A and B are shown apart, each in its own frame.
Chain A
Amino acid sequence: MRAFHLSRRPDRGQGSLESVGVVAVAALLVAALGTVMIQASPAVADKAAWGFCKVTTLGMGDCAEPDDLSADDDRIPPQPCTVSSSSGGYDVSISYVVTLETGRQFVVEELSDGTYRVTAIGTGGVGIGVGPGVDLSLTVNEDSYGVTAIANADVLLGYEGGETWYADSLDDANSILQGQVALEVADTLTGGSGLVSTGKDLLDTILGATGNEPTSSRPDEVFFQAGAEANAGAGVSAIILNMGAKGAADAYLGLRTTPDGFTAYYEAEADIDFNLFHIPGFGETSEGGKASRLFEIDYDDEGNPTAARLTTGSYWESVEGDWDDREAAQVNYTEAVFELPIENDQDLQIALGTLAPGGDQAFLDAASSHGYVSSNTYKDDGLTLGVNANGSLLGKLGGSVSGGNTTRELTDASYWNGTEMVDRPGC
């Protein structure tokens, strides 16, 4: 049972931000992302820009409210929000992770609609190359800060061929999990790869407790990673456009099959001008950089695009009491999601244009006008930063976090009702 009950690491909080005033700085980082995007368009004062400003600045930005807003109560995003998530091998309420000796992990999550999601993660682990990494690192007064922009980590946890099952109840989720774990262990035994006693104990425990035999259940979703070795678009563009050409194919991250069709994932870049951060210590000559955002297009089973989503996220930190008290520090993660249903050629053009430089503002406008805008803030375990970056952040910021301990709890969810950001029911 060890795999179910790993204890919390004693170095919780290591590598977190420390200095006084970090909330203000982190908030500026968040605000800057919004500022850059909004400044890309002259239509700053329209309701789309206002909604985006409200979301990305967490209400702290100077967002000019337009006069001609009309309310629309039917703007709640159709997809359920994740209310809790954990990764790393210890129990957290009803979400948990099983980590096998083979390195394969199974994540169980409760969704806001009461259903459960079981995700099998490849042996490569979480966050290798793709996922909620840190795209920018800044150093201010000798302290370093990370800004992420690829969000929606749960989707990409299935890197290296992840599989996902959905269940109506926790019992059903457990049944799926038990069958898959038993299969995994049985495969290992059959393969003669020297399974250690923990895995055998786990199998015995599972089978003894449930009476289940190893069973195979077809996953509801399968994630295919792209990568340079499996990106057909990159090869074709190498021939047609010559090497070095940048296009949608180069940004392609992978694809997830679903019962209704599939979703393609792309990495969309945004130019970031560090001068816009207005952070003390950054001179006028500081360099610019790129931040990545996750862009998704849903297709039906006939390959017709049905919806597109743009997700951006940021980490920020708040504390209660003394900043030097690391244990009191709380890492927060806020992600903003803009979704545009694709109902005609114009919507499709706008969606595809998002992958082109400067093309995202039209998408944000359209999503705010007749799509969905939502914002979720999660309280993360203090180790989340290090784990999510899984080396990427550690390499930039230093620290000793290793392994996989992550918890995330939804603390605030809101959506754009056509007039303002309001609390999202059910989240």
Chain B
Amino acid sequence: MRARVLALAAATALLLSACSSEPSVPDDQVVKPASVPSKWSTEDLGVLSVSAPASWDLQPATKPAKNITSTTWRTGVDDDGRASGGLEVKVITDPQAPAEKAAESLAVSALATLRSGTVDPLSIVWPDATDAWYLAYTATVGLPDDEVAYPTRTMVLDLDEKTQVQVTVLTAEGTDEKVIDQVLTTVKLTPAE
């Protein structure tokens, strides 16, 4: 009898596991979840948490549109108020386009406004995301005689049909560029209950 119960429990656990399983993150994926480095600060933004170096300044959240909440971190701000790097997290409710289309639009937008050249969004796997895309490009900002290049990474994550997260990290060329992908690895989605 006990063996039957154990077998049934094992089978149930297996079924439940199968129901809740999601594709695992490929080993060779360009960016993968990782543990938070020491001396970094973690911020809980509701549907996700993200970490950044403690020296990065967290700015007050803003709403660039009714359905968007934007949270920004900035670092290396000079006398003109220009930052040398930072992070922006957009939490979008009822997005106008799913992650794939949003990533495509962001790519052409980068090409048009940031002189990035052609950007090819990569489909990635991210825990608790129904769809995930990754963009890597170098943004050029300023007029030709005063331009600065910023290696930039963006992740577009759909949590469900109602919620999308866009995470953008950049740093000025010549600074520690490893940090931009490192920040992305700390993104942790909070699945809806």
Which residues of A does B touch, CB under 8 Å? Answer: 160-161, 224-243, 248-249, 252, 255, 257, 262, 264, 299, 303, 345, 348-349, 352-353
State whether A228 touches B113 (Cβ < 8 A). Answer: no
Taking the closest CB of chain A, its distance from the CB of B173, in whole angstroms, is 13
6 interchain residue pairs of minimum CB distance: A233-B113, A230-B105, A264-B112, A239-B86, A232-B110, A228-B65
Cα–Cα, bound, A366→B4 (Å):
87
State whether A228 touches B152 (Cβ < 8 A). Answer: no
Cα–Cα, bound, A234→B82 (Å):
14
Cα–Cα, bound, A358→B193 (Å):
53
State whether A242 touches B105 (Cβ < 8 A). Answer: no
State whether A249 touches B86 (Cβ < 8 A). Answer: no
Give the chain B neighbours of A226 by CB distance below 8 A. Answer: 105, 109
Q: How many A-B residue pairs have CB under 8 A?
A: 126
Give the chain B neighbours of A227 by CB distance below 8 A. Answer: 65, 96, 105
State whether A242 touches B83 (Cβ < 8 A). Answer: yes
Taking the closest CB of chain A, its distance from the CB of B93, in whole angstroms, is 11
Cα–Cα, bound, A243→B164 (Å):
21
Flag whether B182 is at the interface (Cβ < 8 A): no
Give the chain B neighbours of A248 by CB distance below 8 A. Answer: 113
Cα–Cα, bound, A228→B73 (Å):
19
* Given A161-B101, A230-B97, A235-B154, A242 contacting B112 (CB threshold 8 A): no
Q: What is the predominant secondary structure among interface residues of chain A facing chain B?
A: mixed
* Given A236-B168, A348-B144, A303 contacting B117 (CB threshold 8 A): yes
Nearest residue (CB) in B for A263 is B112
> Which single member of B87, B104, B109, B117 contacts A233 (CB below 8 Å)?
B109
* Given A228-B65, A242-B59, A233 contacting B108 (CB threshold 8 A): no
Give the chain A neighbours of B143 by CB distance below 8 A. Answer: 349, 352-353
Taking the closest CB of chain B, its distance from the CB of A341, in whole angstroms, is 18
Nearest residue (CB) in A for B101 is A161
Cα–Cα, bound, A303→B110 (Å):
12
Taking the closest CB of chain B, its distance from the CB of A410, in whole angstroms, is 30
Taking the closest CB of chain B, its distance from the CB of A261, in whole angstroms, is 10
Give the chain A neighbours of B82 by CB distance below 8 A. Answer: 240-241
Taking the closest CB of chain A, its distance from the CB of B88, in whole angstroms, is 5
**Best-surrounded residue of B62, B109, B144, B152 (most CB of chain A within 10 A):** B109
**Best-surrounded residue of B87, B104, B113 (most CB of chain A within 10 A):** B113
Beyond the given A232-B107, A239-B73, A252-B109, please list 7 additional residue pairs across the A-B interface where CB-CB is below 8 A.
A229-B65, A232-B113, A235-B168, A236-B150, A242-B59, A242-B74, A257-B108
> Which single member of B64, B74, B105, B150 contacts A224 (CB below 8 Å)?
B105
Give the chain B neighbours of A235 by CB distance below 8 A. Answer: 88, 90, 154, 166, 168
State whether A238 touches B118 (Cβ < 8 A). Answer: no
State whether A236 touches B170 (Cβ < 8 A). Answer: yes
Nearest residue (CB) in B for A240 is B83
Flag whether B102 is at the interface (Cβ < 8 A): yes
Give the chain B neighbours of A237 by CB distance below 8 A. Answer: 141
Give the chain B neighbours of A238 by CB distance below 8 A. Answer: 64, 70, 72, 88
* Given A224-B104, A229-B96, A236-B139, A262 contacting B111 (CB threshold 8 A): yes
* Given A231-B113, A233-B109, A349-B144, A239 contacting B90 (CB threshold 8 A): no
State whether B88 touches A255 (Cβ < 8 A). Answer: no
* Given A229-B96, A262-B108, A243 contacting B62 (CB threshold 8 A): yes
State whether B168 touches A239 (Cβ < 8 A). Answer: yes
Flag whether B115 is at the interface (Cβ < 8 A): yes
Cα–Cα, bound, A174→B189 (Å):
48
Cα–Cα, bound, A327→B88 (Å):
54
Cα–Cα, bound, A161→B73 (Å):
32
Taking the closest CB of chain B, its distance from the CB of A91, in whole angstroms, is 33
* Given A240-B86, A241-B82, A242-B83, A230 contacting B113 (CB threshold 8 A): no
Cα–Cα, bound, A225→B59 (Å):
28
Nearest residue (CB) in A for B60 is A243
**Best-surrounded residue of A232, A238, A252 (most CB of chain B within 10 A):** A232
Cα–Cα, bound, A229→B109 (Å):
11
